[in-house]
């Protein structure tokens, strides 16, 4: 029972970290119809900048805030100069965002060098909780709480606010929304920056979680996030949340019981879901966020 609970907590916390990255991709694809492979670059910049700010200031909250600000800044540059010229062309989006991913990853080495950087846990999140022999690491509980709160905030934003209504309307009929006088281009920018902030936050939270960050991790997690988005259903926030939890929990149990197959698990899940339901778990043709 102790092993089961520990693996479950580990899987849920990992899944919610993946969700922060996948949620941004879901929002960007759902409204903008943009395949953004450079999203992982924002994730790795969030991890490195958060780790650096934490080391310099010894304030984890300031590190998180700084990583989000840097992610938003990089996201604005990316949307303005990389994404806007290729709206509506998936082939060009794929090529130019892959190039952006490589630039962001390699630029990490200019500022922090080519070697991995070790990241410590903040003092107030070190240690663990113990319940009748069950040990639960504090930082994983912290990640779960933050992930659930952010999911709730995104759900409320999209379903209970005026800007969420405009976003969902823009998903279904951009031309009609524009005809009503709503600035769809401004909505695009807002959604892209929100996705960038979520990616950077995910990176900042992952750094102490994994204990080490390296420049190539952006591509690794970007691929994982795309798998999650496809499993959950392109454009479905709820689908991405569900798929993130499935991938995280399944990965934790597989790594413990059958470590040799853990790397192939995500692709196996992707194939099974696409064979059973090609639009993803909660996705439908033309689905909104």
Name the token pair of 179: 């005809």
Residue 27: φ, ψ to 5°: -65, -45
Answer yes or no: are the C-beta atoms of 280 and 18 closer than 8 Å. no
Which sequence spans correspond to the domains of the chain?
1-288
pLDDT value of position 265: 87
The stretches of 113-236 forming alpha helices (DSSP H) are: 138-160, 162-172, 174-179, 184-210, 217-232
Name the token pair of 198: 């979520």
> At residue 36, does pLDDT exceed 60?
yes
282 CA to centre of own chain: 18
**Mean local confidence (pLDDT), 185-205:** 90
Q: How far is CA 158 from CA 148, 154, 164, 230, in A?
A: 15, 6, 4, 20
Neighbours of 182 (CB within 10 A): 15
> At residue 257, does pLDDT exceed 60?
yes
> For a pLDDT cut of 90, what percent of the chain falls above it?
45
pLDDT value of position 288: 46
**Mean local confidence (pLDDT), 133-156:** 91
**Mean local confidence (pLDDT), 244-270:** 87
Q: What region, left, alpha or beta, does residue 158 occupy, with left being phi > 0 and alpha being psi -120 to 50 degrees?
A: alpha
pLDDT value of position 181: 80
CA separation for the pair 132, 243 (Å, rounded): 31
CA separation for the pair 82, 69 (Å, rounded): 19
Q: Domain 1-288 classified CATH 1.10.3470?
A: yes
Handedness of CA 137, 241, 202, 229 (dihedral sign): positive
CA separation for the pair 176, 217 (Å, rounded): 40
Please state which of the ranges 19-28, 38-47, 127-136 shows the lowest mean pLDDT: 127-136
CA dihedral 25, 31, 36, 40 (to 10 degrees): -30
Cα first-last separation, the chain: 37
3-17, 141-155, 157-171: range with highest mean pLDDT: 141-155
**Mean local confidence (pLDDT), 71-95:** 88
Token pair 């281009």 in the structure block, residue = 185
Write down the mean pLDDT value for the chain. 87
């Amino acid at each position: 029972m102790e092993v089961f609970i520990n693996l479950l907590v580990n899987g849920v916390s990992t899944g919610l970290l993946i969700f922060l990255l996948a949620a941004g991709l879901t929002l960007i694809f759902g409204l903008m119809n943009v395949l953004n492979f450079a999203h992982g670059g924002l994730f790795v910049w969030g991890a490195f900048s958060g780790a650096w700010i934490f080391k310099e200031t010894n304030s984890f909250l300031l590190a998180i805030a700084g990583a989000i600000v840097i992610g938003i800044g990089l996201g604005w540059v990316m949307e303005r100069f990389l994404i806007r010229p290729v709206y509506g062309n998936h082939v060009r989006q794929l090529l130019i965002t892959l190039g952006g991913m490589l630039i962001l990853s390699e630029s990490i080495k200019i500022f922090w060098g080519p070697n991995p950087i070790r990241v410590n846990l903040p003092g107030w999140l070190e240690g663990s909780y113990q319940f009748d022999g069950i040990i639960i690491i504090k930082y994983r509980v912290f990640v779960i709480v933050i992930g659930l709160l952010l999911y709730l905030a995104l759900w409320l934003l999209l379903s209970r606010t005026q800007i969420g209504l405009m976003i969902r309307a823009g998903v279904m009929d951009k031309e009609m929304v524009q005809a009503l006088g709503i600035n769809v281009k401004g909505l695009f920018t807002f959604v892209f920056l929100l996705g960038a902030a979520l990616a950077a936050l995910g990176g900042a939270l992952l750094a102490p979680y994994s204990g080490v960050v390296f420049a190539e991790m952006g591509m690794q997690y970007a691929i994982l996030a795309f798998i999650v988005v496809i499993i959950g259903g392109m454009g479905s926030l709820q689908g991405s949340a569900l798929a993130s939890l499935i991938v995280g929990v399944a990965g934790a149990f597989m790594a413990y019981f059958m470590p040799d197959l853990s790397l192939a698990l995500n692709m196996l899940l992707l194939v099974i879901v696409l064979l059973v339901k090609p639009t993803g778990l909660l996705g439908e043709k033309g689905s909104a966020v």
